[in-house]
Structure 1
Amino acid sequence: MFRTQALLLAAASTVAFAASASAQAEIHSAQTQTYTIEAGAMQSALDAWARQSKRHIVYRIEDVRGLRSPGVKGRYSEFEALSAILAGSGLALHRDPSGAVAVSRDTAATGNGGTALAASAPQVTPATDPSADGDSSEIQDIIVTARRTQERAQKVPVAITAFTQDTIREKGINTATDLQNFTPSLTVLGDVARNQETFTIRGMGGTGGVGTGSGPGVVAYFAEVPSSVSGPGNFYDLASLQVLKGPQGTLFGRNTTGGAVLLEPARPKMNTVEGYVDGIIGSLARKSGQAALNIPVVDDRLAIRVAGQFDKRDGYVTDAITGRDYLNRNNYSLRVGVQFNPTDTISSYTAASYIHVDEHGGGSILLSVRPGSPYASVLAPYLAQQQAWGVRKTALSTPTFEKARNFLVLNNTEWRATDTLTIKNIVSYGRSQSTSATDRDSTPLPIADLLGAFPGGWNNNLRTITEELQVRYDNGTFRVQAGGFYLDQKSIGALTFLTRNPLQAGGILGGGPIILPPIAQTLLGVNGPLLPALGVQPDASVKGRSKAVYAQAQYKFTPTLTATAGFRWTWDTFGGDITSYQDASSYQVFNQLAALGLVTPAQAAQVIGLNANLCTYDAFKAVAAGGFPTLHYPNCTKPTFNGKSDGPTWQIGLDWQADPDTLLYAVSRRGYKSGANNPIVTLFLGDSYPLAAVKPEKVTDAEIGIKRDWRLGGMKARTNVSAFYTWFNDIQVIQRAAIAGSDILANAQKARVVGLEFEGLLVPNKWLTLGATYSYNDAKFLTYTTIPIPAIPSALTAAQPARDLKGVPFSFVPRHKFSLDGRIGLPIPASEGDMGLRATWSWQSSQRVAPDAQPFDTIPAYGLLNLRFEWNNMRGAPLDFAVYGTNVLNKEYRITANTGYNNSGFNNSIYGEPAQYGVELRYRF
């Protein structure tokens, strides 16, 4: 049998879970062994007993906090040793008929599960694996921190999908895109830069970015610190991964309208050396590995945990011209955690994490071209060729790439001032740097290419500081948590960009693209009918700041009926500046055109003199005002943009623990997302135009749910169901009517989402486990009339009238999603280990990706089948072996959408990973 890593890590990290223990059992055993347990903290003594006896034990953190044990040395039966450890402590020993062992100060408290218990378990089963030893087929709980304290997931009145590290490994979750296949109501939005992933839960998500406002609808947290990192290198050596649904703000540092994704790293354990090494070899030349080592330094006081991972494999899309592979994997991560407990009442966790990504990106596929658009004639043959190639081959004009470096250091210190009062401080410093080259037209033509940053520079180079102070009071009947949160984010150094677009017949401010006949292409020595112009952004900066105060209180009217109320107010400010010009070298081709007689020398001189190093935004302003552009780099003005907003968040709820296995709850929440601005609108239409400023997004929901564990004869089952209705006011959306090639953020007046979520687990016996998830989300706009945009000659933008989009469904929200998971244990002797076959099927219905009708405006429904054979604890050794297959039916499915058909005249997409196979070997010590 193999360990449930989440529970094992919980033992020394004071992770808590509730359990039932009934009649006191016999405390003597016929078998004896030698115990060596030093006198000291009671929690450490209980953990040592669990390790030496190889028994599972549960206890309340509050019950053992501050207690000392006399220890035990000598030969004893397991319960004689445990009784000696508990001597004089006031703790009582309990054991239920299944053999589970618990200690508590109050026998009644262990019956209702109302207080969290800590688990110490050297060898226990995974949360979804029924077989531990003997006849055990219990469904284990995952410890979650949804309410900023450690609790059993089944006792928290919040819709949560939670994973242990073992579950993450078994389901092959390496990125957020993988995570969405197994999480109800979660969608991960991608772009033609594959690792730029954005979470959306129940139709709510998205972000406007630093400087422009519009905070994230869903925030990812690492060890309680908000993080913007969502790509590869995050999902390893975790105690748990939790997806919280619905507005979160009255308990969390950063307010959100859609939910939160919590990554809880495995924290260092006291007094034990342990770890693991895991390696994978697979198709597409995959080589992947991860490892962790827990090092105790000072008994009960100081421990260190070091972990790391790397993932390399070839891409699954090939460039037909260059042979370059796209959508490969090449990343590594390092993590160091230090747990320091100077006293029995102070615990301090410090962690440093580094993620490095250097991948080829790319791989986008041209899907359609709009007839009559500016590039229709030149794109048509490339579209025909792409259709002949299929989705695993492309040809791009830019050697695309994605590079990123992310560093985070944090400290989470908790002081248990009294038995009822706890003070916690969480501070972090982060650096995030990234640059990418993308080919947004997915052809060898220079139509819309981002070439990345200046050599040695970054597209994004951000420094983030967060500080959160929280105070928690809990006397068992009344619990209140209050705190303040501060986030300061700004660019460090210039943000630089290089972009490439076709030259216009009259320069950047006039005419259509220059399309050369074949003879001119030959004479000029160019590859293709379009001449490229290079746009340069030598300098830009952004900044954003968020401040908030919050409080949430819980009151138990009875031991089983609890009311919750919370409130928060948030203040946001944002802004930035930018400089841009047209590179002079792009226009020297006009001298060649003049030499060939295609233009006159006077025309060439005029175009070069006007456009070489022309200050882009100053030129737009001049032409829009009826003037003539005159400013050239470095004499450009620096347009600035800024804004601010504030708003409330609240929650009110009621939950009833009807019996130890049944929790019912009802909750209503208000979510707030920061207002924003559109710099491009301000530039061309002024800051008083209705689209310049974006209003804050306000969300109100109502949710009811039931969490229930069942015993059906000899079978065990779990069913969690929630239903919700969400109202939106001024929901923030992307209006796909661009100015100067830039999409704009806007407000839809009213919208709603109606939904249902289900998660179930059935364990008929120790050989079979069946799981299922399902979500239904009906998300649509109730009132949405777009704001018209006038014709802007200087921005090459035609007039765009208002459109009524009432009744249009949300983009990137499948109405139905489900997953089915089954594991069959194979009948081998217990001494040989645990062997089983696992199959997982995930499916989602079609989803709209654009509010306006166009080709490929919907991603069709698709399903993915993963298979896994696993042999854990091989021959009784701490060794796990697995053979896996992902997407074994080799389904072709889209994971991104660039819906520019009605705007730029074409659209494209990235497709998901093909079938892959491999073997995995894991050694635990």
Structure 2
Amino acid sequence: MRAALDAWARQSGTPVLYRSEEVDALRSRGVRGKLDAVAALRAVVGGSGLILHRDRSGAIAVTRMPAPDRTAAIALAAQPAAAPAQEDDSIGDIVVTARRTAERGQRVPVAITAFSQDAIREKGINNGTDLQNFTPSLSVVGDVARNQETYTIRGMGGTGGPGAGSGPGVVGYFAEVPTSVSGPGNFYDLASLQVLKGPQGTLFGRNTTGGAVLLEPQRPQMNKVEGYVDGTIGNLQRKSVQGALNVPIVDDVLAIRFAGQLDKREGYVRDVITGRDYLNRNNFSLRLGIQFDPTATISNYTAVSYQEVDEHGGGSILLAVNPARPYAALLQPYLAAQQARGVRRTALSVPTFEKAKNFLVLNNTEWRVSDTFTLKNIFSYARTRSTSATDRDSTTLPIADLLGAYPGSWNNNLRTITEEMQARYDDGTLRVQAGGFFLDQKTPAPLTFATVNPMQVGGILGGGPLMIPQPLQAALGLTSPLVPALTLQPSAHVDGRSKAAYAQVQYKIVPTLTATAGFRWTWDEFGGDIQSYQDPASYQIFNRLAALGIISPAQAAQVADLNAGLCVYDAYQAVAAGRLPTLKYPNCTSPTFRGKSNGPTWQLGLDWQADPQTLLYAVSRRGYKSGASNPIVSLFLGEEHPLFAVKPEQVTDAELGLKRDWIFGEVKARTNIAAFYTWYNDIQVIQRAAIAGSDILTNAQRARVMGLEFEGMLVPVKGLTLGATYSYNSAKYLQYDTIAIPAIPQALTAAQPSRDLAGTPFSFVPKHKYNLTASVDLPLPEREGTLQLTGNWSYQTSQRVTPEAQPFDTIAGYGLLNLRLDWRDVRGFPLDLAFYGTNILNREYRVTANPSYNNSGFIGSIYGEPAQYGVQLRYRF
């Protein structure tokens, strides 16, 4: 039977899940000829006492009948004709890869929230911000750029630092390859989308201290032409189309799959001065999958993916101004004007944008050497490029503006190569997975930046902002009293290298009780260099002042000669040493920074399959997140200062879980529960605008996170499905003493004493989150198809955006209501029609924050999407 099931999986291109002990003693009559895939599988298992399970995603699993039914099954097996397999798809079970192999989600001792492609479509999940509304313990951390999404799970994750190393603590994976691409344009034509909770560092690698988000693309299927076209139109000029085409080339040997997506929509925040719409959508993606199975034991999957984003970004709203900071008097009228406009209109000094081009090619080759031993090799090459312009002060004043990269260049440009070799042994009682991982990352071309800040009285190293009186502003061509100074960064590089070796063992102590132990050690190296100078054109303002008689030509020449083209970092070093800065571009030095770290991750667990419907498990895991370094600290305070090197994070958790399916006559239900406690050490946190207006990454000493997660489903009667998810997370610092920063005159940085922040809660962690869903089938003649109405309510309580007390340091709790009407198989055709509405109550809610009130003196935020509605049409073939 096992060989027959494996042969069916190879020929159909669809994984079939089974437990070895349930099929090893059975035999199959087999089947020959050309049949529909499911009909063939029914014939393969017919009369064997096996039950076929199938969910709406197409995932298939095979299990034994309950004991009372086996006698009848054996009798059926003795009959000359094969009886069809029983089928149960009332609740469904998605195929997941949480342990690097295909398994039924309900049989995996990991807290998982998984979605099929149909569920992604029906819930309207287009990006991480949407995903968090349906996933317990998941939050999406944003900055003032919408597409720069970073996942946080159970309070762990967050952003990487402004220096080298580190990175997010929740890693995204595409077809088993780690990827930094997490924004729009990823959630289409997927076999599954999985969110794994808790440290996953044994099998998935470094930095998965909070968990991992797995995107498994739909792979090509053999011997069948199939596909779909899906189009959406809606308000805000929404136009979206996606589709896929599966083409067999050689029966049982070669098939390819093309897929793509295009998504356009107007922005929902508008600039009252320029009319530019912010927070729009404009992205497209293309994907090619090639499945090549040259023999019955070799499976080779190649994927090529390209994604392009060209959007307006921005849309940030000024929320508060610190009256004790230098620009308070200037900012107050802008704050009043913004408050009068509301959160759907703004006025910015920068035409903000977000542009990105991402390319990925990967190859996953699996060789089944024998029935028990498998070798797998995963190779990938990725190129990610992006540039963005942001207005961090959220006004028309030139206070804190990023203009983006030089024309034809990028703010971020990374070439990443990964290589992983994995060996797996599985005899039904003992499973061993072991392997090695290598990552090499570098910038193939210099990274460039252009930033605008107010000019100082004496230039870059002056004693305060240069303020121009109102009567002179028009004569000087200024729109505000502040004089903008442009800083150019013509070159920067970052690089990193990570190596790891790992092994994990699962052993069945008895057929229903399994022990798991895993260990991994990771070595990381990182570094880079940076160079910047003052734009000479910015200092022409002094010549204009001289022409108006405000200053003398000699004074203008003196300031311009000193500052125009001045190498920024060399100037800081010279002033710190008591010298006059003299180096000008292109003779600037390029300060370099290097660092390295290493650490172990491990896992110990025990799971008990009490019966076919009940799984209990207990697990403890260690997570490791790479260390980092702060280049800005080395510039002003040296590499020996405690703030330069950032320690690796260490996470240790304990989790208890129960997964249970229930049947009470015709009533079916599912309850999955997980409770956890996490010990968190050397937490990497961002201290904003700490030195020369730049963010730095530091460590908080100790914290703890504890919580509970629940996912449930109930089918009380046929045609009615109720669902609910809930999570409770209590995350706070137990010891958090910030490192004091001395006064740095040349950096215009005031002394910052150490502060005790123990007891403060984590940022971007709502204590309570829940989601309620109800779907009901409406009356419709069978020949007309099926009609289903679904309502979804998601709510999360308030969440802090910074541990430091300040105005708007907390995003208020909010709830979102979505409705959807699905008409499937319209009038018997392979056509699905849907009408949808999201946030139909039109709630205004914050999704990101720039909490710089205590540093730069202002705080801004981006708000979530307003009410949207539209129609979606899908044709399947």
Equivalent in 42, 45, 49 of residue 35 of structure 2? 49
Structure 1 residues 592 and 16: alpha-carbon distance in aligned structure 2, compared to 1, 3 A threshold: same
Question: Matched residue of 2:332: which SS?
Answer: helix
Whole-angstrom CA distance in 1 between matches of 2:277 and 2:459: 35
Q: Map of 1:470-489 to 2, 5 A cutoff?
A: 470-489=422-441
The offset of 1:472, in angstroms, is: 0.2
Query: Is the CA contact 2:16–2:60 (under 8 Å) kept in the aligned structure 1?
Result: no
Q: Quote how far apart the aligned CAs of 1:690 are.
A: 0.7
1:490 aligned partner: 442
Matching residue of 1:308: 260
Matches of 2:11 and 2:690, distance apart in 1: 54
* 2:496 equivalent to 1:540: no
Quick one: structure 1 residues 45 and 908, their matched pair in 2 at CA, closer, same or farther if it must change by over 3 Å? farther
Match of 2:3 in 1: none
Alpha-carbon distance in structure 1 between the residues aligned to 2:542 and 2:414: 39
Alignment-derived partner of residue 871 in structure 1 = 823
Change beyond 3 A, Cα 1:14–1:297 = same
- Per the alignment, residue 365 of structure 1 pairs with 317
The structural deviation recorded for 1:596 is 1.6
Correspondence list, 1:241-260, <5 A:
241-260=193-212
Unaligned runs of 5+ in 2: 1-7, 71-85
One of 24, 48, 51 as aligned partner of 1:93? 48
The residue aligned with 1:611 is 563
Question: Is 1:344 aligned with 2:296?
Answer: yes
Among 408, 416, 436, which residue is 2:360 paired with? 408
Check 1:103–1:919 CA distance in 2 against 1; reply closer, same or farther (3 A cut).
Answer: closer
> What letter is aligned with 2:217?
P
Q: Is the 8 A contact 1:480 1:554 kept in 2?
A: yes
Aligned equivalent of 1:460, options 393, 412, 425: 412
Q: Name the amino acid aligned to 2:441.
A: Q
Superposed CA offset, 1:163-203 (max 9, x none):
00000000100001110111001111111111001111111
Aligned residue in 2 for 1:445: 397
CA contact (8 A) 1:21 1:111 kept: no
Q: Is 1:695 the counterpart of 2:647 in the alignment?
A: yes
Alignment check: 8 A CA contact 1:332 1:357 kept = yes
Cα distance in 1 for partners of 2:673, 2:743 equals 51
C-alpha RMSD over aligned residues: 2.5
CA drift of 1:20 comes to: 13
1:880 corresponds to: 832
The DSSP-based 3-state class of the residue aligned with 1:205 is coil
Aligned runs of 1:538-577 on 2, under 5 Å?
538-577=490-529
CA contact (8 A) 2:438 2:498 kept: yes
Secondary structure of residue in 2 paired with 1:804: coil
Post-superposition shift, 1:791? 0.6
Contact 1:567 1:649 in 2 (8 A): yes
Distance 1:42 1:355 in 2: 47
Cα distance per residue 1:866-903 (max 9 Å; x no partner):
10011001111110000000000000000100000000
Which deviates the most, 910-919 or 591-600? 591-600
Letter in 1 for 2:653: D
Deviation at 1:603, TM superposition (A): 2.0
Q: Distance in 2 between matches of 1:402 and 1:749?
A: 35
Report the 3-state secondary structure (helix = DSSP H, G, I; strand = E; otherwise coil) of the residue aligned with 2:493.
strand
> By how many angstroms is 1:42 displaced?
9.9
Q: Which residue of 1 aligns with 2:786?
A: 834
Residues 625-640 of structure 1 correspond to what in structure 2 (within 5 A)? Answer: 625-640=577-592
Aligned counterparts of 1:103 and 1:444: Cα–Cα separation in 2: 59
Cα distance between partner residues in 2 of 1:45 and 1:371: 81
Q: Given the alignment of the two structures, is residue 422 of structure 1 paired with residue 374 of structure 2, yes or no? A: yes
Q: Which moved more, 1:370-379 or 1:388-397?
A: 370-379
Per-residue CA deviations over 1:654-686 (Å, capped at 9, x if unaligned) read 000001100000000000011111111111111
Letter of the 1:49 counterpart: L
CA distance in 2, matches of 1:42, 1:297: 29
**TM-score in terms of structure 1 length:** 0.89
2:533 to 581, 586, 602: 581
Could you report, residue by residue, the CA deviation over 1:578-630 in whole angstroms, capped at 9, with x for unpaired residues? 11000000001101112222223222122111110000001111112222211
Q: 1:520 and 2:506 equivalent?
A: no
Letter in 2 for 1:275: G
Change (3 A) 1:282 1:104: closer
Q: Secondary structure at the match of 1:533?
A: strand
Aligned equivalents of 2:600, 2:29: Cα separation in 1:
44
2:74 corresponds to: none
The one-letter amino acid paired with 2:513 is L
After TM superposition, the structure 1 stretch with the greater mean CA deviation from structure 2, 709-718 or 155-164, is 709-718
Using the alignment, how far apart are the partners of 2:716 and 2:10 within structure 1?
A: 27
SS at match of 1:603: helix
How far the C-alpha of 1:106 sits from its partner, in A, is 8.7
Per the TM alignment, residue 111 of structure 1 is displaced from its structure 2 partner at its CA by: 9.9
Could you say if the C-alpha distance between residues 107 and 620 of structure 1 is closer, same or farther in structure 2, counting changes exceeding 3 Å? same
Distance 1:192 1:291 in 2: 32
- 1:171 pairs with 118, 123, 140, which one? 123
- Contact kept, 8 Å, 1:270 with 1:299, in 2: the verdict is yes
The offset of 1:527, in angstroms, is 1.0
Partner of residue 13, structure 2: 13
Correspondence for 2:95 among 132, 143, 164:
143
Shift of 1:44: 9.1
Distance change (3 Å), C-alpha of 1:902 and 1:781: same
Q: Percent identity?
A: 71
Letter of the 1:415 counterpart: W
Whether the aligned pair in 1 keeps the contact of 2:206 and 2:626 (CA below 8 Å) is no
Q: 1:750 to 1:903 in 2, by over 3 A?
A: same
Q: Number of paired residues?
A: 848
Structure 1 residue ranges without an equivalent (≥5)? 1-7, 24-40, 59-81, 113-133
Residue of 104, 123, 126 corresponding to 1:152: 104
- How far the C-alpha of 1:156 sits from its partner, in A, is 0.1
> How far apart, in 2, do the equivalents of 1:244 and 1:394 lie?
38
Contact 2:565–2:584 under 8 Å retained in 1: yes
How far does the alpha carbon of each residue in 1:61-113 deviate from its partner, in whole angstroms, 9 at most, with x for none? xxxxxxxxxxxxxxxxxxxxx3xx78xxxx9533669999999899899999x
Could you say what secondary structure the match of 1:49 adopts? Answer: coil
SS at match of 2:35: helix
Aligned-partner Cα distance in 2 for 1:45–1:183: 44
**Residues 725-779 of structure 1: CA deviation (Å, up to 9, x unaligned):** 0001111111235101111111111000011000000011221000010000000
Mapping of 1:512-911 within 5 angstroms? 512-736=464-688, 738-911=690-863
Distance 1:827 1:19 in 2: 39
Matches of 2:87 and 2:376 in 1, distance apart?
A: 42
4+ runs deviating over 6 angstroms: 8-11, 19-23, 41-44, 97-112, 134-137
In the TM superposition, residue 208 of structure 1 has moved relative to its aligned partner by: 2.6
Cα deviations by residue, 1:320-379 (Å, 9 ceiling, x for unpaired): 000010100000000000000000000000000000000011100011111031111111
CA contact (8 A) 1:334 1:354 kept: yes
Q: Which amino acid aligns with 1:455?
A: P
CA distance in 1, matches of 2:535, 2:178: 39
Supply the AA of the counterpart residue of 1:651.
Answer: Q
Letter in structure 1 aligned against 2:256:
I
Q: In structure 2, what residue type is equivalent to 1:17?
A: L
CA distance in 2 between partners of 1:849 and 1:792 (Å):
28
State the alpha-carbon separation in 1 of the partners of residues 10 and 704 from structure 2: 40
Letter in structure 2 aligned against 1:380: Q
2:318 and 2:673 map into 1 onto residues whose CA distance is 41
Q: What is the CA deviation profile of residues 379-437 of structure 1, one whole-angstrom value per residue up to 9, with x for unaligned ones?
A: 11111100000000001111111100000000000000000000000000000010111
Matches within 5 A, 1:200-279: 200-208=152-160, 212-279=164-231
Cα contact 1:424–1:470 (8 A) shared by 2: yes
Aligned counterparts of 2:838 and 2:132: Cα–Cα separation in 1: 15
Cα distance in 2 between the residues matched to 1:22 and 1:702: 31
For the 8 Å contact 1:359–1:403, the answer to whether it is kept is yes
Matched, 1:161 2:113: yes
Is residue 183 from structure 1 mapped to residue 122 from structure 2 by the alignment? no
Aligned residue number for residue 118 of structure 1: none
**Are 1:469 and 2:421 an aligned pair?**
yes
